[in-house]
């Protein structure tokens, strides 16, 4: 059991759209032997959308809406990659996926540097102390100076970095990467594209000069001296404690610097870590099975209208058909066809270990954050909801289908597609999302899965924030003053709908005892 836990590496690759996440994932799968040809992951994406109804939206827009899991064995390790949606409107999905990983690889576009989405995702990693490795991609393009990029990552992502590889030139002059971690020189052969030529040379040897020329060899030596002078020596514990992010350079498209990343990753990345529950900390090596649902995906297979709930195993061994307790509703559940996911197929499994992600068929019994145990009353802590950025009133467009609409909205909210608030002034339902696309997905799915029609009424709001205070009187006064802008979330908590940043700031000045929270857990 301990061996199984120790060999697992469960992580997510995150990036701003277009930085190269899909390409890198695909190359990792190549190394894992899961696919034989490059391009398979993308074609898989298209196939999926063609056979799945509601993902028509995805197809039309050429984006990946869903999150899936890919597993493969590499050396003695079992690698579980959690894929995240490639579109920023689905950032909330990615946030939740980050609750189920033990570490993260961040892909940064070498020409563009740190972009908005990366910054946001890093905030979530920081909240959870998730160890991160940075992969600076597209070094085969003219990009920025590597030192500048490192500075930008430190200041923008607020984490100390330590380069473990170093590029020798870039763009068309890109010669290769010096692997600082292994002290090896990896030369890039543009004509071969997929082959990485590894040459083991000592940094001070003449051989280095003959391989890359005297000028570049000297520059590399100076750069490496500078790196040793500026950055602290790499210490795995600093990385594991999320104090320092090792950085690799490469080009995913050209399969360059990818194996270096993977080799170092499996060696240093954490195996499943203890998980915090409200009651106690749960250790992976505990005998009894526990797990939680972090993601629910609808209708991957259009022939079966049921959903798949993704469960992360936190401790013990999961066994097919064994009775488990669904803690929220107290019921005993058994799973006869739990699945695991390979790059292009899924298969039924008999057992799973901490760190593994299993797919459980679901007919609306699960909500995001649900805990499964062998009987213990345990509640894993989820990721808080973030204040949505876009809001619309949801209107029933077919009065004969009110029931269907309510059911559909309820289930979609359970899946975590968006957040629902009820305006306390007019009693209207209001849906908050992080992007416009989610409104379209909701409308489409309500129609296709619940036979209910909805209409959206735009609403200009700046933010929804959760409010609380020790001073009950002042809270009441605030709610009275802002009665038109007060709402409740699904748990019945007070939410203030601020229509501008100014209004929010004034409220903060006028009501000093009130705390305004931008996440739902405080
Ligand atoms: P994403 O999942 O992060 O959104 O990015 P994705 O891998 O889809 O990559 C975005 C684009 O960047 C793709 O080009 C991809 O080929 C390109 N790319 C990825 N890695 C590298 C690299 O190392 N060097 C260079 N030069 N380009 C890279 P596209 O034109 O949008 O798609 P495609 O038609 O090539 O598939």
CATH number (domain holding residue 497)? 3.30.70.3280
Which helix (H) or strand (E) segment holds residue 362: the answer is strand 357-362
Helix (H, G, I), strand (E, B) or coil at 357: strand
d(CA 339, CA 343): 13
State whether the Cα torsion 48-53-54-60 is positive or negative.
Answer: positive
DSSP-derived letter for residue 277 is: B
User: 160 and 63 share a domain?
Assistant: yes
- Burial environment of residue 465 by CB neighbours within 10 A (0 to 12, 13 to 18, 19 or more): buried
Query: Is the distance from CB of 366 to CB of 335 less than 8 angstroms?
Result: no
Is residue 378 assigned to a domain?
no
d(CA 47, CA 430): 35
Which helix (H) or strand (E) segment holds residue 103: the answer is strand 103-109
User: 192 and 60 share a domain?
Assistant: yes
User: 183 and 293 share a domain?
Assistant: no
From 268, 296, 325, the end of a domain falls on 268
Cα of first residue to Cα of last residue in the chain, in angstroms, is: 36
Mutate to test the pocket of ligand 1, among 17, 21, 23, 172 (most ligand atoms within 8 A of CB): 23
Is residue 381 assigned to a domain?
no
What residue's CA is closest to ligand 1, atom 31? 18
Q: What tokens does 152 get?
A: 């930008």
Longest dimension (CA), the chain: 82
Q: Could you tell me if residue 219 is left (phi over 0), alpha (psi between -120 and 50 degrees) or otherwise beta? A: alpha
User: 338 and 356 share a domain?
Assistant: yes
Query: How long a stretch of residues is the chain?
Result: 522
Ligand 1, CB cutoff 6 Å, lining residues: 15, 17-23, 86, 137-138, 140-141, 251-254
Give the number of the atom of ligand 1 that is nearest the alpha carbon of residue 107.
3
Look at the block and give the residue holding tokens 């760190």.
355
Give the number of the atom of ligand 1 that is nearest the alpha carbon of residue 42.
36
Is residue 324 assigned to a domain?
yes
Is residue 384 assigned to a domain?
no
Is residue 126 assigned to a domain?
yes
User: 84 and 149 share a domain?
Assistant: yes
User: 211 and 280 share a domain?
Assistant: no
Residue-wise DSSP of 160-215:
EEEESEEEES-GGG--EEEETTTTEEEEE-TTTSSPEEEE---TTSHHHHHHH-HH
User: 235 and 341 share a domain?
Assistant: no
User: 327 and 400 share a domain?
Assistant: no
Query: Is the distance from CB of 373 to CB of 325 less than 8 angstroms?
Result: yes
User: 339 and 204 share a domain?
Assistant: no
Is residue 449 assigned to a domain?
yes
Look at the block and give the residue holding tokens 């398979």.
40
Is residue 385 assigned to a domain?
no
From 229, 249, 268, the end of a domain falls on 268
| Ligand 1 centre distance from Cα of residue 281 (Å) | 40
User: 88 and 217 share a domain?
Assistant: yes
Q: Which domain holds residue 311?
A: 275-373
Per the structure, the count of domains in the chain is 3
Show pLDDT as tens, one digit a residue, over the chain (522 residues): 899 999 999 999 998 888 988 889 888 888 877 655 555 444 434 333 333 334 555 544 444 445 478 888 899 999 999 877 766 667 777 888 888 999 999 999 999 999 888 888 898 899 889 999 999 999 989 889 999 999 999 999 999 999 999 998 888 888 888 888 888 887 766 544 554 566 777 888 888 888 888 999 999 999 999 999 999 999 999 999 999 999 999 998 888 888 889 999 999 999 999 999 999 999 999 999 999 999 887 654 455 566 788 899 999 999 999 999 999 999 999 999 898 876 556 688 899 999 999 989 887 788 888 999 999 999 998 766 778 889 999 999 998 999 999 999 998 888 888 899 999 999 999 999 887 888 888 888 888 788 899 999 999 999 899 999 999 999 999 999 999 999 999 889 999 999 999 999 999 999 999 999 887 765
- Burial environment of residue 453 by CB neighbours within 10 A (0 to 12, 13 to 18, 19 or more): middle
CATH code: domain of residue 302? 3.40.50.300
Closest CA to 167 of 238, 230, 260: 260
What residue's CA is closest to ligand 1, atom 30? 18
User: 244 and 357 share a domain?
Assistant: no
Taking CA 466 as the corner, what is the angle to CA 464 and CA 468, rounded to the nearest 5 degrees? 150
Closest CA to 203 of 185, 223, 176: 185
């Amino acid at each position: 059991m301990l061996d199984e836990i120790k060999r697992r590496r469960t992580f997510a690759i995150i990036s701003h759209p277009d930085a190269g996440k899909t390409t890198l994932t695909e190359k990792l799968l190549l190394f894992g032997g899961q696919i034989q040809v490059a391009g398979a992951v993308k074609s898989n994406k298209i196939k999926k959308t063609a056979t799945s109804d509601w993902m028509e939206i995805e197809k039309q827009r050429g984006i990946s809406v869903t999150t899936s899991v890919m597993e493969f064995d590499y050396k003695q390790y079992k690698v579980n990659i959690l894929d995240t949606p490639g579109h920023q409107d689905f950032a909330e999905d990615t946030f939740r996926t980050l609750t189920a990983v033990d570490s993260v690889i961040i892909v940064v576009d070498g020409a563009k540097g740190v972009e908005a989405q990366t910054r946001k995702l890093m905030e979530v990693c920081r909240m959870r102390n998730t160890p991160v490795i940075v992969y600076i991609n597209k070094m085969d393009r003219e990009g920025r100076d590597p030192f500048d990029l490192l500075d930008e990552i430190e200041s923008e992502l607020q984490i100390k970095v330590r380069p473990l590889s170093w590029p020798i030139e870039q763009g068309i002059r890109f010669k290769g990467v010096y692997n600082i971690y292994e002290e090896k020189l990896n030369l890039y052969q543009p004509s071969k594209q997929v082959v990485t030529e590894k040459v083991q040379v000592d940094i001070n040897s003449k051989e280095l000069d003959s391989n890359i020329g005297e000028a570049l060899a000297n520059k590399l030596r100076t750069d490496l001296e500078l790196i040793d002078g500026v950055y602290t020596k790499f210490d795995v514990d600093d990385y594991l404690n999320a104090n320092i992010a090792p950085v690799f350079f490469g080009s995913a498209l050209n399969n360059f610097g990818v194996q270096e990343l993977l080799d170092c990753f499996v060696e240093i990345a954490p195996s499943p870590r203890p998980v915090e529950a409200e009651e106690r900390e749960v250790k992976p090596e505990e005998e009894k099975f526990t797990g939680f649902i972090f993601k629910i995906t609808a209708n991957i297979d259009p022939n079966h209208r049921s959903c798949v709930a993704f469960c992360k195993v936190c401790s013990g061994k999961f066994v097919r058909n064994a009775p488990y307790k669904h803690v929220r509703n107290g019921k005993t559940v058994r799973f006869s066809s739990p699945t695991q996911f390979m790059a292009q197929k899924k298969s039924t499994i008999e057992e799973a270990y901490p760190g593994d992600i299993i797919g459980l068929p679901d007919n609306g019994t699960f909500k995001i954050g649900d805990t499964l145990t062998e009987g213990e009353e345990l509640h894993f802590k989820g990721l808080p909801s973030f204040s949505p950025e876009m809001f619309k009133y949801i209107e029933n467009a077919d009065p004969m289908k009110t029931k269907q609409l309510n059911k559909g909205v309820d289930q979609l909210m359970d899946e975590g597609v968006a957040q629902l608030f009820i305006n306390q002034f007019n009693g209207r339902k209001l849906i908050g999302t992080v992007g416009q696309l989610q409104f379209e997905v909701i409308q489409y799915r309500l129609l296709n899965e619940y036979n209910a029609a909805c209409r959206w009424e735009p609403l200009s709001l700046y933010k929804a924030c959760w409010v609380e205070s020790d001073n009950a009187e002042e809270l009441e006064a605030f709610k009275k003053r802002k009665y038109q802008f007060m709402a409740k979330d699904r748990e019945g908590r007070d939410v203030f709908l601020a229509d501008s940043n100014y209004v929010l700031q004034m409220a903060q000045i006028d009501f000093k005892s009130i705390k305004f929270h931008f996440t739902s857990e405080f």
